[in-house]
């Protein structure tokens, strides 16, 4: 019998993938402190957004989960979904009282601030949007995306682009429940018969939801956050989105009541640019804005009336379309009209008619360059005769580099008398700067005709505007209302730059 020796097993050592912290900050929600850390990892294609509550220990969370389960047993998700808004408020108050008793039982030494913080945490988990509310409170996020319950929630970060989070939704039923909560607050519903829903949160954030099997991997929710701190010309200039010269030229066109179309792809900053352009409006004019969901925030100095479309109810009644509001706005004696997005022929016709009757119109359009703007306007489904487009003053194109996440003004073009675009300024990608490539003819001629200014006067005016913009940036005036006050002083001739 041959003796055999056992060969020692080889131990292979596996090192954990290297993580690198690239960003860290904190946010506070109803006294709940949340630590945000963003990591890159060797084996991951995208960075991870990690949110952790720092002032509630793991042991406390276990007890809070027991309390939460007790409430779930008392009332099902279906019952909560069917509650009216006033009933929900009553339930919230009842929950608050009962939770307070249990917290005092389990956490006898908790002071009032700690008790209130724990109550808010449990209310958020039971009657709110749970961990999604943390993401909604992060001002650095633009989009929040739930694709299904199997994969983590995704977010779009202003600085870092798309990130995968450490937050997961426990089930498809929970995703559907969140959709129902959102819809109920504004009188909408999502069901198997109506599996698509466009809605908005009470805070103004836009929401789209879909139900399986329409979305084949599971129920989805996409939230585009409303900018509580809106983009302003100061932020555009500081971030390098636009040059001082291009901003001054756009300001000149706005001051002289030239209509504009802002083009660009999804997420390129079209609405942000529309908001920036409104920084230049004089305070003595009436402005009507028309949107599907409120995204614009204009200075309070302005005479501004915001209007919003409304979808019909489940019986198909009560809908108010963009066209309804456009036609109605012309009866409201507007000086300027802002439109969230042009989609249909009838809307474009009313807008162009408004331009021809002396109104200044500003609108967004999905188009990747100035030539595409004209192509989209003059071909189906919009199909406007090309000569009518000559009433437009400028086309401004916004672009987002999907690799870097940077948003930039790609082109500033004027519209010629034949309805063709003439690019005046263009982004030099190598230099990351907007540069002049052609001299303006149409815009300059219009200003000379209607103001009596000479070319030299216009050049001096542009230099003065650029100087004011540099002064605003130097003083870091980013608040939209403070900018509105500065513009009001500029137009009344009382602006003093210290």
Q: Name the phi and psi angles at 338, rounded to 5.
A: -110, 130
Q: Measure the CA–CA gap between 329 and 315, rounded to whole angstroms.
A: 27
Determine the distance from the C-alpha atom of residue 120 to the mean position of all C-alpha atoms in its chain, rounded to a whole number: 27
Asked if residue 454 is part of any domain, the answer here is: yes
Q: At what angle do helices 58-74 and 85-106 cross, to 10 degrees?
A: 130
Asked if residue 62 is part of any domain, the answer here is: no
Asked if residue 103 is part of any domain, the answer here is: no
Whole-number Cα distances in Å, 133 to 180, 337, 338, 459: 16, 34, 31, 50
Q: Measure the CA–CA gap between 19 and 41, rounded to whole angstroms.
A: 5
Asked if residue 118 is part of any domain, the answer here is: no
Number of domains in the chain: 1
Structure tokens at 145: 């995306």
Asked if residue 440 is part of any domain, the answer here is: yes
3-class state of residue 234 by DSSP: helix
Q: Give residue 435's pLDDT.
A: 95
Whole-number average pLDDT of the chain: 87
**DSSP secondary structure letter of residue 218:** S
Burial of residue 323, with CB atoms counted within 10 A of its CB: 0-12 exposed, 13-18 middle, 19 or more buried: middle
Asked if residue 132 is part of any domain, the answer here is: no
The count of C-alpha atoms lying within 13 angstroms of the C-alpha of 212, restricted to the half-sphere facing its C-beta, is 14
Label the pairing between strands 141-146 and 196-200.
Answer: unpaired
3-class state of residue 129 by DSSP: coil
pLDDT in tens, the chain (498 residues): 444 444 444 555 555 667 899 999 999 887 788 899 999 988 888 999 999 887 677 777 777 777 777 665 655 545 555 555 455 555 566 667 777 777 777 777 777 777 787 777 777 766 668 789 889 999 999 999 999 999 999 999 988 989 999 999 989 999 998 999 888 877 788 999 989 998 888 888 889 999 999 999 999 999 999 877 789 999 999 999 999 999 999 999 999 999 999 999 988 999 999 999 999 999 999 999 999 878 899 999 999 999 998 877 767 788 899 999 999 999 999 999 999 889 899 999 999 889 988 899 999 999 999 999 999 999 999 999 998 899 999 999 999 988 777 899 999 999 999 999 999 999 999 999 999 999 999 999 999 999 999 999 999 999 999 999 999 999 999 999 999 999 999 999 999 987
Q: What is the pLDDT of residues 333-389, one digit of tens each?
A: 999 999 988 989 999 999 988 998 889 999 999 999 999 999 999 999 999 999 889
How many residues would you count in the chain? 498
Q: Give residue 151's pLDDT.
A: 95
Residue 140 contacts residue 157 (beta carbons within 8 Å): yes
- CATH number of the CATH domain containing 377: 3.40.50.300
pTM of the complete model: 0.80
Asked if residue 336 is part of any domain, the answer here is: yes
Give residue 385's domain range.
Answer: 233-310+319-492
Asked if residue 48 is part of any domain, the answer here is: no
């Amino acid at each position: 019998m041959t003796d055999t020796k056992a060969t020692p097993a080889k131990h292979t050592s596996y090192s954990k993938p290297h993580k690198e912290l690239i960003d860290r900050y904190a946010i506070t929600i109803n006294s709940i402190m949340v630590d945000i850390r963003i990591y890159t990892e060797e084996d991951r294609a995208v960075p991870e957004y990690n949110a952790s509550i720092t002032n509630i220990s793991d042991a406390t969370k276990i007890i809070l989960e027991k309390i939460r389960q007790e409430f779930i047993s008392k009332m099902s998700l279906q019952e909560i979904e069917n509650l009216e808004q006033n009933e929900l408020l009553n339930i919230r108050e009842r929950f608050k009282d009962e939770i307070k008793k249990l917290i005092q039982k389990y956490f006898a030494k908790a002071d009032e601030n700690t008790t209130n913080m724990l109550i808010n945490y449990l209310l958020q988990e039971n009657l709110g949007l749970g961990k999604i509310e943390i993401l909604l409170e992060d001002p650095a996020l633009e989009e929040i995306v739930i694709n299904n319950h199997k994969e983590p929630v995704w977010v779009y970060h202003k600085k870092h682009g798309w990130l995968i989070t450490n937050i997961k939704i426990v089930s498809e039923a929970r995703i559907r429940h969140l959709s129902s909560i959102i819809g109920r607050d504004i009188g909408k519903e999502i069901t198997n018969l109506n599996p698509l829903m466009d809605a908005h949160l009470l805070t103004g954030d836009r929401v789209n939801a879909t139900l399986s099997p329409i979305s084949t991997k599971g129920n989805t929710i996409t939230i585009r956050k409303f900018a509580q701190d809106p983009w302003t010309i100061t932020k555009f200039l500081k971030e390098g989105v636009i040059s001082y010269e291009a901003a001054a030229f756009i300001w000149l066109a706005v001051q002289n009541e030239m209509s504009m179309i802002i083009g660009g792809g999804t997420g390129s900053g079209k609405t942000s640019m529309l908001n920036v352009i409104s920084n230049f409006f004089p305070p003595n004019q009436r402005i009507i804005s028309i949107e599907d969901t409120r995204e614009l925030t204009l200075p309070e100095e302005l005479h501004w009336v915001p209007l919003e479309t409304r979808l019909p109810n489940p019986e198909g009644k009560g809908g108010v379309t963009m066209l309804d509001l456009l036609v109605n706005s012309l009866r409201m004696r507007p000086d300027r009209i802002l439109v969230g997005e042009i989609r249909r022929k009838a809307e474009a016709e009313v807008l162009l008619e408004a331009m021809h009757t002396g109104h200044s119109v500003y609108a967004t359009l999905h188009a990747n360059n100035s030539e595409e703007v004209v192509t989209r306007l003059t071909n189906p489904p919009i199909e406007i005769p090309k000569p009518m487009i000559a009433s437009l003053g400028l086309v401004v194109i916004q672009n987002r580099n999907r690799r870097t996440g940077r948003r930039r003004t790609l082109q500033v073009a004027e519209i010629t008398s034949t309805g063709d675009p003439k690019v005046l300024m263009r982004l030099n990608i190598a230099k990351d700067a907007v540069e002049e490539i052609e001299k303006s003819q149409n815009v300059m001629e219009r200003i000379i005709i209607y103001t009596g200014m000479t070319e030299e006067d216009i050049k001096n005016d542009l230099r003065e505007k650029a100087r004011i913009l540099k002064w605003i940036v130097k003083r870091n005036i980013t608040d939209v209302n403070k900018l509105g006050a500065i513009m009001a002083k500029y137009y009344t001739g009382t602006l003093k730059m210290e």
